[in-house]
Structure 1
């Protein structure tokens, strides 16, 4: 074994290839790109650059330089113009963070099309810093070059001295989070990228996209093989199309009401209660009144610590979750204002970390409450106080017991109509993107901070003592993948799959395309009052100010399924959802500290089904050899074409980094799609299905029999189990 390893190592160093006979041959020279053609390289970023090279257009490949760190204390670095923004001189010396000398250095480990860890440039700098990246390139002509970007945290882009992107984010880096359009001139061009770090990770993603001067047929082929994950889409156009079926109305607020919604719940009498992050509880009278003037607000309770959820027991009794406790509010005299504040349970810890939120409560038929507890943020141990990173169960008598571990920022927990419990978790460390889990007693969901409290739980020996970083959710060993990517032809003995030691999500929400900060899941129990999605789940997103849809199924007793866009164009980040007795959906909103699209800092809106049924994908079922896509309306077979659906797939890495990209993205081989007799189900054969992957669907051209295009031609199926 040692001799074989030495032989392989020597071969790699010498730059030769190995063939099955193990004869040594000279390394093959890179193939010359065919002029003006589409060139596939197995993934979108590499294919884009290879195709640009074939068209003799800039690829952004070549030498890159970096300069930093500069200071970003109190996030002032984002808007402050450090010297490189005024003029780049690769021989210059600047005053950097803590007055350290900063010079330009070649960034020889920078890679296009990959999330690059900037922290490795400055191992001793962990917070509040700025770095600049610089690249020059030649172009034979003037044109507009789109550049796909991702960043942790903020990003600014300058092309030939002109700022073309300036986005303030606090997020993990991933591909295609932002898009800059660069005005390229004939001759020499300069590209300067500024990335500011606040805390946590520090990373950047850069890759060109195909410009309009590349023929449309080539751009369409790229999108077919590797569907674009660019999240900078026409949200206004999508919202306009969605409005035909789902109308949004804004609920007027009292002048003195700061309604940063943390929880929503209807009382039996039809009045709506809303608790807020500022500790107030409001009673909203006539919330579904056609005339906004008839909607009134009064204060029901006040003085709580960041109230982020509630459960209504009766017109006079409501349970509210606040940071340190579960509280019972009682309106004893029925005057519309709480008279008693009773502590139900306060047995979890609070350290003072701002990130120690508490969410819920979800209540089962036996009267038990389930509460999810956020971990802390940043340096040090993230579960400083007991039971942080856990779901806990509280009995009607107030006795608390640990229920499940491995949660990070579980902003929303709810029961499905079948009595099963689910929660949504947010992207961050150990959570590469947003996700939804089936919540089970004794399960571990991936974030290791809370494992320190296992010793005080009934799960000793039943949960991992520690976790390993770097495994892939589809069981692939990354070392094997790297070997295969080298193009070696020596026979490889495939190792057995190695999966992370945890309960995987039933739904992955691909970052950006399906929100950036998920909130509470809620099920449609309106029996059709809310349109054609009865029994399905809806999830808000706090950053993108949208509502998404989830259709679950069970395969071998395990939950999995698909998520879809549903309604965009809301005025603020959606933190809570609640169905009204009339079947409309209320969306409680807030953006303080977190940021969101929409322009408003907080508010309350109502989504109402207009009665116009949309043409859309209703749900997706896994089959033994592919998928069955069922639509809300029959499709016209004449609009299907030769390949009406393209499918790609990817998995995620289970690792300690804050967020991260999809990995091992590949175009799947799709067989001939078959439409059912009623026109509603399209069966799509897909070969080589593998559990632990997300399958992304893109429709190209299908329309209903009435000529309507599919409203949302994309969907994302999380595959945990194969059909036996």
Structure 2
């Protein structure tokens, strides 16, 4: 832990130098607890606030000169928003998916209708929902579980399950802990199962669907999941809403008694992200668009519980995604509470919506991140080989790397009923060789290199040929499989 804290302190100035972070202020009377953000096709930014309002504004270069206007109100903890047009939004609130429309062009929504509904509501504060567009007029909806820290009401909305009610985080009412598919007409169907609190869901430019989740019970550490229809993603409570699960069978008891069967049934994370060192509480993942000047095509994952955003380098191995993670931004004026991401219409800036929901020091609002120069000196590709890794830097290295410049260790995680799980089976992996493939790329061979482990890389303080210090020195690669 001392090493991790030292790394954070040393890396922050370098990370901050690459980006300018600005506060976008709301009017003083508006509680700035951001549930969701989205751009309309005309470039108008809409923000749904957890206290019930939807605000809109045309982005201004000066962060103090935004002209916010109230567009709609009355939503119950809205955490997902689709800005269909300048005059229409759809918002997922606790109980349903509601459409608000301005029909008389006065700038304020005057027509509200339920676009989709059908999931349950127990009365628990933790049961928030959010959305991702499918690109065809439909949506994927992430339906969160309830928490033991809040009650279940005497009268619930929807079907109730006594087995679903068990556990620290629970799914006592219909489709809690599931991802749903909503077609363009508002018809709902279950898509996949087994989430604790997937606070953000995203479809990338290739049609792949992604979500994170929060470390906790049945979540050893922060995961990034690639979602496929029908799969189970590890939190057992939601299995009561999978019609394939045997009626009358308690999923929590079943898998608490048989972790081997649990591991066989679940879909493992594409990337396991160390909780303390990298990302404590995942928000909404988002692909970096092709026109953004830094790391296009990679993934960003905001941390709701720290002042940082994780950068993820994915690849396919044997037909399945896995990859590496490091910091994109760590401090540098960024608040905590980060959980929603959108890129500006020209793809040159990042907007971050923030709320801590009472789980830490107040950090609410909207911030804008602008690259302040050329792409920083860092690792830009981290690819697995049968014997180790091929690592590519953004710039030519000052000198050839030696084995002492890279230190690897590896470990495993086992998700179970406890609140998070420690790193297990830790070993050091000796660097047997470093081979220069090009001015920017090296191939590293490791001893005791096996699949099913997370590999940690600690770099020495390297420099580019131009004399720039490397932005990050800590990386993690989830090696589910070897090529």
TM-score normalized by the length of structure 2: 0.90
Find the structure with the greater CA-based Rg.
1
Of the structure 1 ranges 565-574 and 502-511, higher mean CA displacement relative to structure 2 is found in 565-574
How far did residue 603 of structure 1 move? 1.4
Q: 1:115-170 CA distances to partner (integer Å, 9 max, x unpaired)?
A: xxxxxxxxxxxxxxxxxxxxxxxxxxxxxxxxxxxxxxxxxxxxxxxxxxxxxxxx
Secondary structure of the 1:671 match is: strand
How far did residue 465 of structure 1 move? 7.3
Instruction: Determine the structure 2 residue equivalent to 1:587.
Output: 352
> Following the alignment from structure 1 to structure 2, what is the Cα–Cα distance between the partners of residues 354 and 294?
35
Instruction: Determine the structure 1 residue equivalent to 2:225.
Output: 437
Secondary structure of the 1:323 match is: coil
Secondary structure of the 2:311 match is: strand
Instruction: Determine the structure 2 residue equivalent to 1:620.
Output: 382
Instruction: Determine the structure 2 residue equivalent to 1:259.
Output: 32
Rate the CA distance shift 1:233–1:256 in 2: closer, same or farther, 3 A: farther
Contact 1:304 1:322 in 2 (8 A): yes
> Following the alignment from structure 2 to structure 1, what is the Cα–Cα distance between the partners of residues 191 and 327?
32
> 1:33-48 maps to which residues of 2 (within 5 A)?
none
Match of 2:180 among 388, 392, 405: 392
Contact 1:644 1:673 in 2 (8 A): no
Match of 1:502 among 257, 266, 269: 266
Secondary structure of the 1:344 match is: strand
Instruction: Determine the structure 2 residue equivalent to 1:63.
Output: none
Instruction: Determine the structure 2 residue equivalent to 1:244.
Output: 17
Contact 1:470 1:655 in 2 (8 A): no
Match of 1:326 among 97, 107, 125: 97
Work out whether 1:719 is the aligned partner of 2:479: yes
> Following the alignment from structure 2 to structure 1, what is the Cα–Cα distance between the partners of residues 479 and 289?
26
Provide runs of 4+ in structure 1 moved above 6 Å: none
> Following the alignment from structure 1 to structure 2, what is the Cα–Cα distance between the partners of residues 336 and 545?
35
Rate the CA distance shift 1:334–1:524 in 2: closer, same or farther, 3 A: farther
Secondary structure of the 2:239 match is: helix
> Following the alignment from structure 1 to structure 2, what is the Cα–Cα distance between the partners of residues 465 and 630?
48
How far did residue 613 of structure 1 move? 2.3
Rate the CA distance shift 1:387–1:642 in 2: closer, same or farther, 3 A: closer
Secondary structure of the 1:518 match is: coil
How far did residue 335 of structure 1 move? 2.6
Instruction: Determine the structure 1 residue equivalent to 2:402.
Output: 641
Of the structure 1 ranges 238-247 and 390-399, higher mean CA displacement relative to structure 2 is found in 238-247
Q: 1:271-319 CA distances to partner (integer Å, 9 max, x unpaired)?
A: 211111111111022x2x2323431111111110101011122222221
Contact 1:545 1:574 in 2 (8 A): yes
Secondary structure of the 1:520 match is: coil
> Following the alignment from structure 1 to structure 2, what is the Cα–Cα distance between the partners of residues 433 and 642?
30
Rate the CA distance shift 1:585–1:471 in 2: closer, same or farther, 3 A: farther
> 1:274-293 maps to which residues of 2 (within 5 A)?
274-285=47-58, 287=59, 289-293=60-64
> Following the alignment from structure 1 to structure 2, what is the Cα–Cα distance between the partners of residues 612 and 304?
42
Contact 1:641 1:701 in 2 (8 A): no
Instruction: Determine the structure 2 residue equivalent to 1:512.
Output: 276
Rate the CA distance shift 1:649–1:234 in 2: closer, same or farther, 3 A: closer
CA RMSD of aligned residues (A): 2.2
Rate the CA distance shift 1:468–1:250 in 2: closer, same or farther, 3 A: same
Contact 1:628 1:681 in 2 (8 A): yes
Instruction: Determine the structure 2 residue equivalent to 1:420.
Output: 208
How far did residue 660 of structure 1 move? 1.8
Rate the CA distance shift 1:234–1:552 in 2: closer, same or farther, 3 A: closer
Contact 2:87 2:102 in 1 (8 A): yes
TM-score normalized by the length of structure 1: 0.61
Q: How many residue pairs end up in the alignment? A: 459
Secondary structure of the 1:519 match is: coil
> 1:1-150 maps to which residues of 2 (within 5 A)?
none
Of the structure 1 ranges 270-279 and 290-299, higher mean CA displacement relative to structure 2 is found in 290-299
Work out whether 1:341 is the aligned partner of 2:112: yes
